[in-house]
Amino acid sequence: MLELKNVSKIAGGGYHIRPTDLTLRRGTLNVLLGPTLSGKTSLMRLMAGLDRPTDGTVKFDGVDVTGFPVQKRNVAMVYQQFINYPALTVYENIASPMRIAGKDSATIDRQVRKAAELLRLTPYLERTPLNLSGGQQQRTALARAIVKNANLVLLDEPLANLDYKLREELREELPKIFAESGAIFVYATTEPSEALLLGGNTATLSEGRVTQFDETIKVFRNPVDLTTARTFADPPLNTIDLVRSGDQFLRDGQPVLPVPIYLTGIPEGPVTLAFQPHHLFLEARPSTQKLTASTQVSEIAGSESFIHLEFAGSKWVMLAHGIHDIDPDQTIDVHLDTRHLMAFDTKTGRSLIGAGHESD
């Protein structure tokens, strides 16, 4: 078990990591989700022992390892920018941590070939890294981390440089590998979809602060605040500031939306409503509320379209299936699925919804 107790890191006069408490258990996959410069890499460096915290303690299985350098910890690390030994073959790159650990040749060969098969590297075992593509080099670094049998495996956006097909395959395979190892895996990503696919637990980060840590699906469905909800939205979260009055949400004194049953417990007064772009539709569906919005621009991305809208002074984006080339400055009807609205305190950003509601 890895425990961070009130851990912080100050550099250049400012916080890289704000005081953080975090407990990661053996055999778990833990995703660090946040935009660039949110603190993901800084937090991983503290976990690994590459950096020492300004305050707080780091414990592993009850032992205080705060002052232990990375060389004295059983840690494996894989970065977005892969690191391999250029003079060694792919086979020897993968085998290197086991040779250092004194494993016998039969065990080394078995584990190398197993990892190589998983990561589609078998045809390249006798090549050196300079004769590989960037994706193949990254897979080599991943394979070396897998065979090291470390207590803590840190993966900093490890699939970012791989082609789409292999990235999707590995996203499905990695959780199975993690579950079998008994190690603690920490996986940093900027992509909410990747966190959802990997599952496990997720810690959302913003400006060096862990805003929430729980099972991934719980963080996605029940964000504790607006910052967490925004971190877990791609395309960006849609929001609108309204006033709850009786059974209606008002804008400038005029009814905009009826209050859904599950939101009847929130207080009267200002409220920020939020919803995911895929909960807005061009056609009416069960539990949707019709709204009239103006179009700004539509972006076609393969089999999906991103339609940018303006409604009651708020900028929204709709993720619509299919190709929809809609001219700007049009007035159209859109349909909001009110079953998935999130409600936040307009001043504090804290969620106003009880933990019983789930928004997909």
User: In this structure, what are the phi and psi dihedrals at residue 246, rounded to the nearest 5 degrees?
Assistant: 65, -125
- What are the tokens at 251? 């804008």
My answer on whether 174 and 310 are in the same domain is no
Residues 84 and 224 in one domain: yes
Structure tokens at 285: 């569906």
328 & 292 share domain: yes
Same domain, 107 and 245: no
Residue 241 lies in a domain: yes
Are 120 and 252 contained in the same domain?
no
Is the same domain home to 220 and 242? no
How many residues can be counted in the chain? 360
Residues 222 and 266 in one domain: no
3-state secondary structure of 137: helix
Q: Are residues 217 and 246 in the same domain?
A: no
350 in a structural domain:
no
Q: Within a domain: residue 122?
A: yes
Q: Which residues of 35-51 are buried (b: 16+ CB within 10 A; e: fewer)?
A: eeebbbbbbbbbbbbbb
CA distance 116 to 246: 62
Domain count within the chain: 2
Cis ω for the linkage preceding 235 (within 30 of 0): yes
CATH of the domain at 284: 2.40.50.140
Q: How far is CA 122 from the centre of its chain?
A: 30
Instruction: Verify that 58 and 149 share a domain, yes or no.
Output: yes
Instruction: Tell me, yes or no, whether 333 lies in a domain.
Output: yes
Are the C-beta atoms of 198 and 174 separated by less than 8 Å? yes
**pLDDT by residue for the chain (360 residues), tens digit each?**
999 999 999 988 889 999 999 999 988 899 999 999 999 999 999 999 999 999 999 999 999 999 898 888 889 888 777 778 899 999 999 999 899 889 999 999 999 998 898 888 999 999 998 898 877 888 888 888 888 888 898 998 887 777 777 777 777 777 776 666 678 999 999 999 999 988 899 999 999 999 999 999 999 999 999 999 999 998 999 999 999 999 999 999 999 999 999 999 999 999 999 999 999 999 999 889 999 999 999 898 888 999 999 999 999 999 999 888 888 999 999 999 999 999 999 999 999 986 434 455
Q: 12, 6 in Cβ contact below 8 A?
A: no
Helix (H) or strand (E) holding 17: strand 14-24
Parent domain of 19: 2-228
Question: Is residue 244, in this structure, part of any structural domain at all?
Answer: yes
In a domain, 314, yes or no: yes
- The verdict on residue 252 lying in a domain is yes
